[in-house]
Chain A
Amino acid sequence: MSGPIHIRSDETFTLNVGPQHPATHGVLRVKMEMDGEYIVKAETVLGYIHRMHELMGENRTYPQVLPNLSRLDYLGAMGYTHAHVLAIERAASIEVPERAEYIRVLMVELNRISSHLFWFGAFVMDLGGFTPLMYAIEDREHILDLMEAVTGSRLTYCYFRFGGLYNDVDDDFINATRAVIPRLRKSLKKYDALVTGNIIFRKRLEGIGPISAEMCRKYGATGPVARGAGLDFDVRKNEPYSVYSEFDFDIPVYHECDSLARYNVRMDEMEQSLRIIEQALDKLPEGPIMPKKKPKLIKPPKGDYYQAVETARGSFGIRIVSDGTKNAYRFKLRSPTYSNMSLFDEACEGMMIMDALAMMGSLDLVIPEIDR
C-alpha cells in the first residue's frame, strides 16, 4: 500500500462509486474508469440487494406473493401490487367492482405523486440543494397520512386484493384528499419558483445528460426517461388498464432528451395525476369493494399471462406462467428502473462525474427494484 504514487499523464484510474455512496441512493455500485474528472468507461455492478422475489413468486401462492411486490419499489409500491392483481384477475377471470377500480386508480395516482415528490427532493439534493427535499417530504407526508388511514401502511402497501380492496375509503378520506389537492398545486408552483427557474439548476441540467429516443428503444427505457426523450409512450394511455380510459389526462412529453426534460416530465406528471385524482373523486361510484363471487383458492388456468402498468418509474410488467396449480410456474418481473439504469453505462461515457451523477439522479433509481 505505501510507497510513492506515480502518475502518468495518460493514466486512467478506477473510481468505485458505491456500493455505499451518497449519490446512488442505495447499494448500487458503478465502476468508473476516470480520466481526471471525465468518465472514460462506466460499468454498473448490480445485485447487492438481490432478494429473489421472482423465485419467491414461484414458491409461494399468488396471494402470498402480493406483499412481496410492494417491496420492489418502496416509493411507488401501489403500482406494483396493482400489476399483480390485474394479472391474476385477468388470468382467473375475477370481476372487480367499479368502486374498487376507481379507488385503485386514486391510490396509484396518489402514490405516484408521493413518489415523484420524493424523487424531486432527492434529485435536487443530488445537485447540492438540500432544502427542497425537506419541503417535498413535508408535502409527501400529507399523502402518506391519507394512505395510511385507508391502507394501514405508509410505504409498503398491501392494499389491493384479488377482485377488490382490503378496506373501503370513507368520507374523511375523500374530504381530506380534496383538501390536499389545492395544497399540492400551491406547492408545485412554489417548487417551480424555487428550483425550476434557478439559474444554477438550469445550467446543470440543460443539454446535460443526453438520452436519445434510439437509446431508450435500445435498452427498453420507459416512463419519464423515455418521455423526456420525445417518446410518447405511457401504458395508461397506450394500453389502458383498469378504468384509466375513463379519465381525461395528458401525457407530458418533452423532446430535449436532457436531464431537464426528464425533470419537467415528472413535474408535469404530478399535475396530471392531480387531475386524475380530482376526476376519480368526482366519479367515485357507490357499491361494494369486493366481488360477490370470488374463488377461495386462486388457481389461474394453464396459460401465459402478462400485465403491464405504468408505475412512477415507467412500464412495469409482470409475466405469470401458470400450470393450473396454486403456485406460478414462472414468475417474471420486468422492472422499469432496471432498463432505465442499463443505459447509464453508455450514456455517461465522456461525461464529467458531476454531470453523470446528475443524470443518474434524473433516472429516478430505486435500487431494490433493480435488483429485485
Chain B
Amino acid sequence: MDLTIFNAVIAVVIAIAFAAANAAYLVLAERRGAGRIQRRPGPNVNLFGLLQPPADGIKLMTKQLMIPGGADKALFMVAPVLAMAPAIMSFVTIPFSNTIVAHSMNVGVLMIFAFASFGGMAILLAGWGSRNKYGVMAAVRAVSQNISYEVPMLITVITIVMMTGTMNLHEIASLQSGGFWNWNIFPVSMSDGFMLQPLMPISFLIFFICSLAETNRAPFDLGEAESELVAGFHTEYGSMGFGLFFMGEYANIVIGASLITILFLGGWGCPFGLYPGVWWFLLKIYLLIFSFIWIRWTFPRTTIYGLLNLSWKILIPISLFNLLLTAGLLKVF
C-alpha cells in the first residue's frame, strides 16, 4: 500500500479514535474492575455506567484550564500534548491483524520505543513546568524510572529481534502464527526453524514488568504516588490537561499490551490455529489489560529505591544473560 496523504490522514484518524475510545472506556473498565475486586458496584448508572466516560469527558472539557502562578506556561501547555501524541503515533505501526495495519515499517519496534521515550519527557516537562515541589519530585522519580526500565525492556526486545531476525512487528507476529506452540513465550519456538530457548517465559515476565513500569502503573506508579506526592507530576493540572495525561496513560497501556501480544503471544494468531484475526488480538490485549488492572488493585506501591534495585540488580542482569544465551543458542541450532 502506498503511503499517500489520504491514507495517512485516515490512519491517524482511526488511531486517534481507537486510542481515545480505548482510553475513555478503559477508565470505565478500570473503575468497574476495581469495584468488582473491592466488592462494590463501581459506576453503574445508565447502562452499566456506559455513559460515564462521555460524562467525564464533558466535565473535563468544560472546566477552566488553570495555569498556576509562576509556572512555565509553554512547558505547562506542551506537556499533556506530548504525553498523548506519541501514544497515538505508536498505533500507526501496530498490526492488529494480517491486514489491519496503518503502516507496516521495517523499524516498527524501534519506532515504538522511540515514541515511548517521549512519555518520560512529558512527565518531566509537566513536573518542572508546573512549578510545584511535589511535581518536580515526581517528575524526577518518573524519569529515573522510565530510563531504568527501558534498558531491560530493550534488551528483551533485542532477544526477540535476534530470534526472529526482523524488526517489523507484522513479520514478528506472522512468524508466530499457527498455534500457541509457535509463540515466542514458550521455550520451544518453531517460528524460524526449530529452536529451544528455555528462558523465554522469564523474558516475557521481564517485559511484562517493564511495561507496567514504563506506563507508570501500580505497583510502579511512583510518578503519581498519591499518598506522598499528592498527585505527582499532574498535581497542578485540571481540565483537559489532566484529561490528556489520563488518556495518554491508558493509550500507553494499550500499546504496552499490544507489544506484549505481538512479541510474545502470537499477535492475531489463534492459540489453536483457527480463524486468526483481529478478534484474537483484541482478546489478548484486553486480557493483558485486565491483568494490569488486577495487579494495580492488589499490590501496594514499591519504593523508589526498591524499584531501581529491581531494574538494575535483577532485571538487567537476567535479561543480559538471556540475550547471551539466545545468541549462543542461535549459533547451536
Contact = CB atoms under 8 A, between A and B. Distances in A.
Interface of A: 1-2, 5, 13, 15, 21-23, 36-37, 124-131, 134-135, 138, 194-195, 198, 200-201, 203-204, 352-355, 357
Contacts of B297: 130-131
Interface string B39-56: 110000000000000000
A129 B70 contact: no
A138 B137 contact: no
Given A130-B38, A134-B39, A37 B304 contact: yes
A31 B49 CA distance: 42
B225 A354 contact: yes
B227 interface: yes
B301 A37 contact: no
B207 to A, nearest CB: 20
B226 A22 contact: yes
Given A13-B133, A129-B300, A353 B70 contact: no
Given A22-B227, A354-B228, A354-B304, A128 B221 contact: yes
Contacts of B225: 128, 354
B255 interface: no
Interface string B212-241: 000000110100011110100000000000
A200 B298 contact: no
B6 interface: no
B186 to A, nearest CB: 27
B70 A2 contact: yes
B106 interface: no
B303 A204 contact: yes
A23 B225 CA distance: 10
Contacts of A5: 131
A36 B228 CA distance: 14
Given A134-B39, A204-B306, A22 B230 contact: yes
Nearest to A204: B303
Given A15-B134, A134-B38, A203-B303, 6 more contacts: A128-B218, A128-B226, A129-B301, A130-B34, A354-B303, A357-B227
Q: Which of A138, A200, A357 is the most central at the interface, judged by chain B CB atoms within 10 Å of its CB? A: A200
B114 interface: no
Interface in B283-306: 297-306
Interface in B176-225: 218-219, 221, 225
A203 B306 contact: yes
9 contacts: A22-B227, A37-B137, A127-B300, A128-B218, A203-B306, A204-B302, A353-B228, A355-B303, A357-B228
A124 B300 contact: yes
B328 interface: no
Contacts of B230: 21-22
Contacts of B329: none
A340 B288 CA distance: 44
Contact of B302 (A2, A135, A195, A200): A200
Contacts of A201: 300
B8 interface: no
A130 B301 CA distance: 10
A131 B303 contact: no
Nearest to B301: A128
Interface residues of B, number: 31
A357 B137 CA distance: 15
Q: Which of B137, B221, B300 is the most central at the interface, judged by chain A CB atoms within 10 Å of its CB? A: B300
Given A37-B137, A131-B38, A135-B38, A125 B303 contact: no
A135 B219 CA distance: 19
B300 A204 contact: yes
Contacts of A125: 227
Interface in B113-151: 131, 133-134, 137, 140-141
A299 to B, nearest CB: 49
Given A135-B38, A200-B219, A204-B306, A23 B228 contact: yes
A124 B305 CA distance: 19
B330 interface: no
Q: Which of A131, A354, A357 is the most central at the interface, judged by chain B CB atoms within 10 Å of its CB? A: A354
A354 B131 CA distance: 21
B245 to A, nearest CB: 18
Q: Which of B37, B133, B227 is the most central at the interface, judged by chain A CB atoms within 10 Å of its CB? A: B227
Nearest to B306: A203
Given A23-B227, A23-B228, A352 B304 contact: yes
A52 B257 CA distance: 56
B227 A127 contact: yes
Q: Which of B34, B298, B303, B306 is the most central at the interface, judged by chain A CB atoms within 10 Å of its CB? A: B303
Interface in B245-299: 297-299
B227 A352 contact: no
Nearest to A355: B303
A1 B228 CA distance: 25
A31 to B, nearest CB: 12
Nearest to B231: A22
A127 B39 CA distance: 20
B228 to A, nearest CB: 5
Contacts of A200: 219, 299-302, 306
B308 to A, nearest CB: 11
B226 to A, nearest CB: 6
A13 B131 CA distance: 13
Nearest to A23: B227
B220 to A, nearest CB: 10
A1 B70 contact: yes
Contacts of B39: 134-135, 138
B6 to A, nearest CB: 46
A352 B302 contact: no
The 4 closest A-B pairs by CB, nearest first: A128-B301, A1-B70, A129-B300, A134-B38
Interface string B294-333: 0001111111111000000000000000000000000000
Contacts of A1: 69-70
